[in-house]
Amino acid sequence: MKFNFFRMRFENELKMLGNYQDTMEVQLVEAQKSELRLVEERIKALEAGEEEAMILEEHEYIYGVIFPRSLRYSFIVLLFLNLESLLNEFCNAVQKKNNVALRCNEIRGESVERSKIYLHKLAKVNLIDLAFWNSIEDFSKVRNCIVHTLGKVDQSRDKLRLQDISKQGTGLTIGNAGSEEGFIILSNDYCKKIIVDVESLFRELFDKAGYGPSFSL
């Protein structure tokens, strides 16, 4: 059996990121349950009144809004950092394989678009009909909004596209009330979808660039 260790390493790194996200989501739920038990014990020691409602509201705000937002925003940034690194490494490998004079990082532009131009126009990798590149370009816009405007859609240069994405039922929405108004809201399903899309994109890229499967007889 022959193994393509270059391709397998990419697949394993992305798989580990998916496992990390799954683990953190489980831990968040467990932390929420544990903290709620402490809150309930605290409430029992109080006389009935407005303070009870305030304590529960604070718990719901922390575990229903702040922690999920922080966890998923940070995962999106982490995943995108890995995507940039892997794309650059992939382009460098293709440069050597196809004897391209320029390196990918010698081209101007954002990493995703730059890699696309490099692979298709300079390295002559046929990227026509890639099923997942559009999703990754949208992912880049989501990441930019998180990094540059802390998830506030109205302040993003990609406001209109983000509004379109929020209507696609992918698990990304835009808050319309309270402390979440105007912010990108990410569900666990969205994070799962994006990691799958990134994995799928690299499968397509490896196939298009002629690297073959991860292993073969």
Question: What are the pLDDT digits (tens) for 5-15?
Answer: 889 999 999 99
- Would you state the pLDDT for residue 1? 65
Question: What are the pLDDT digits (tens) for 82-112?
Answer: 999 999 999 999 999 999 999 998 988 889 9
Which pTM value belongs to this model? 0.91
Residue position matching structure tokens 């532009």: 109
Domain ranges of the chain: 2-212
> What residue spans of 99-128 are helical by DSSP H?
111-117
Question: What are the pLDDT digits (tens) for 171-203?
Answer: 999 999 888 999 999 999 999 999 999 999 999
Give the pairing type, strands 2-3 and 215-216. Answer: antiparallel
Of 105, 54, 60, 53, the closest CA to residue 84 belongs to 105
